[in-house]
Homo-oligomer: A and B are copies of this chain.
C-alpha cells in the first residue's frame, strides 16, 4: 500500500542544523481517521466517511455484491463490509486490507451497522489456499504446531488481550499496595529447588571447538560464567534479598522446569508472579494479599470488554475460534468462577483438616501421604460457590528448606511438624498459588538446608540475608499462565501461552 501521509514529527536536519519539515510528496489527500474494528462497531450512528484496517476473516462473493467480514484483533466480533464484486476480487481469507467507505445502518440482522465500502487497498501478499490456518475447525493439537499463525484466530487474539489486561490490573494493584516491581535474574547459580529438573546454560562457542561431540545428541559446552549456571525455577530467593531493601517487592518473570511432564497444566517455560513482603507477623497477611490481588483481577475483568467477549465466546453459536480451546466451559461456569474470585468468602483449612475431609469423602489417605492432584480436585470441588480454598500447614517434610515450622509464627493452627505454608486450590485447575512464611532465623535455616542437602557455597548469599538485619517475611508464587487459563476457561496451558515449550516441543 502506498498511502502517503504527513510525518507528524518529521523534522530532519542536514549537518546537524535545523531545517524545515519534510515536504509531502504525495498529492493524495489525507484519508479519514482510521478506526480499529472495535471502535467502529461501537459506533451506532452513521458516518459519511470512515476507514478501518484489518484482516479478512471471510468473504462471500455474489454476482452484484460481495460481503467481507473484517477483524483486527481489537474485538472477537467481525465488522461486515459490503463491496462491489470487482473490489472484492483480490480478497480471500487472511488478506490484510484497508477499507474506506460509509458507515450505514445494516439491512441484515447480524449487526446494526455495516461498512458500505468505496475503496479497498490490499496491503500485502496472501496465499489463502496454502495457509495452514484455515477458516474451519482445526484441532488444538494441530494448531499448537503453528503458534506463529494461531493468534490470528479471534479467540486466541482475545486471550492475548486478556493477558495484557491482567498484567495491567496487577501493575496497578501492586502499585497501590506499595509493592516495588523488580526484575530478578533468569540465569542463576543455584539449582537447589528444582531437584535436578533445571536447564543448564552454556555459550555455544563449542561450535568452533575441535573436539568431536560424544554422540549426535550431545554437544560440548563451555562454562561462560566459570561454573555451571541454570535457568531460574523461581525468583523467590532473589526477591527475598530485594525485599530487605524496599520491604515489599513483586515480579512477573519467566521461570523454567526441565520436567518431562506431559499434562495440560505444565510447561517447561512459564510466567510466575511472585511477591515477597517483610515485617509481617503471620501467614494470614500473605493469604490476605493473595485474596485481595485475585479479587482485583476478577473485578476488573468482569466489567471489561475483554470479560464480556470471553463470556460471548462461551455463548456464541459461532464461537470465533473458541471451539479450538478444548476442553471449554460454559458461560455460566465462567461467570461463577469470576464471582467466586470477586465476591465470595474463601475458606482456609489446614492440611490436617483437608485429610479428614478426604477420609470423610471416602478417600483412603493418611497424613503422611501428601495430596495428589485427585485429592486437590476433590477439595476444590467441595468448596461452595466455586470459591478458591487455602490449604495450610502441610507436613514440613513435604516442603522446601526455607519454610519454617508453623509454630515459628503466631496465629497458627499447625505444629512443629508442619510448615507455615499454604496452597491456594481453585476448582477444576487445583493449585494456583503457593506461599509461605520464610525461615528468617539464621541457625534454623542452616539446619534445614543441611537436612535437605542444599547447604553449600552457592547459597551462602541466601544465608547472609538472615545474618544481617533479618526480619520475618513471607510471600507467594502464582502460576500466571494457569491464572489466565482459569479466568478464560481454557483447558490447556498450551493454548494460553503463545509459544508454548514442553518436553520435545519448541515450535518457532
Residues of chain B with a CB closer than 8 A to A440's CB: 124
Residues of B close to A348: CB separation below 8 A:
10-13
A182 within 8 A of B: yes
Q: How far is the CA of A178 from the CA of B72 in the complex (A)?
A: 12
Complex Cα spacing A179 to B295, Å: 25
Establish whether residues A148 and B461, one from each chain, have CB atoms under 8 Å apart when the complex forms: yes
Q: Which of B131, B151, B181, B469 contacts A152 (CB 8 A)?
A: B469
Chain A contacts with B in 86-131, Cβ cutoff 8 A: 94-96, 98, 123-128, 130-131
A282 interface contact, C-beta 8 A = yes
How many whole Å from A88's CB to the nearest CB in chain B? 16
**A244 near B: Cβ within 8 Å?**
yes
Contacts of A149 in B (CB 8 A): 241, 464, 468
- Contact code string A288-322 (vs B, CB < 8 Å = 1, else 0): 10010000000000000000000000000000000
Interface status of A55 (Cβ within 8 A of chain B) = yes
Asked if A8 contacts B284 (CB within 8 A), the reply is yes
Does A363 sit within 8 A of B, measured CB to CB? no
Q: Which of B13, B203, B498 contacts A353 (CB 8 A)?
A: B13
Interfacial residues of chain A within 409-430, with CB under 8 A of chain B in the complex: 410-411, 413
Q: A123-B471, A152-B244, A186-B254 are in contact. Are A181 and B198 (CB under 8 A)?
A: no
* B residues in contact with A217, CB < 8 Å: 222-223
**Residues of chain B contacted by A468 (CB below 8 angstroms):** 94, 125-128, 131, 133, 149
Using a CB-CB cutoff of 8 Å, which residues 365-387 of chain A contact chain B? 379, 382-383
B13, B147, B175, B254: which contacts A347 (Cβ < 8 A)? B13
Chain A 337-364, CB-CB to B under 8 Å as 1, else 0, gives 0000000011111100100110010000
**How many identical chains are in the complex?**
2
A201→B201 contact, CB < 8 A: yes
In the complex, the answer to whether A199 meets B199 with C-beta atoms within 8 Å is no
A66 CB to nearest chain B CB (Å): 18
Are B204 and A201 interface neighbours, CB within 8 A?
no
> Does A325 lie at the interface of the complex (its beta carbon under 8 Å from any beta carbon of B)?
no
B284–A347 touching, CB < 8 Å:
no
Interface string of A239-275 (1 = CB under 8 A from B): 0011011110100011010100000000011010000
- A16 engages B271 (CB within 8 Å): no
Q: Does A9 contact B (CB under 8 A)?
A: yes
The answer to whether the Cβ of A156 comes within 8 Å of any Cβ in the partner chain is yes
Give bound CA distance, A291 to B10, whole Å.
12
B13 and A185 within 8 A (CB): no
Contact partners of A96 in chain B: CB under 8 A:
244, 278-279, 469-471
Chain A 160-178 interface 0/1 with B at a Cβ cutoff of 8 Å (1 = within): 1101100110010001001
Restricting to A494-508, which residues have a CB under 8 Å from any CB of B? 497-499, 501, 503-508
Bitwise, A199-225 to B at CB < 8 A (1) or not (0) is 111111111000100100111111111
- Name the B residues within 8 Å of A407 (CB-CB): none
A132 proximity list for chain B (CB < 8 A): 464
Q: Is A184 close to B, CB under 8 A? A: yes
6 contacts between A and B (CB under 8 A): A1-B281, A4-B411, A12-B347, A73-B247, A191-B204, A200-B206
5 nearest CB pairs, A to B:
A124-B470, A73-B246, A151-B245, A7-B284, A203-B258
* Seed contacts A73-B180, A160-B249, A238-B498; 11 additional CB < 8 Å A-B pairs: A2-B281, A7-B282, A9-B287, A96-B471, A126-B470, A127-B468, A148-B465, A185-B269, A185-B501, A187-B256, A191-B204
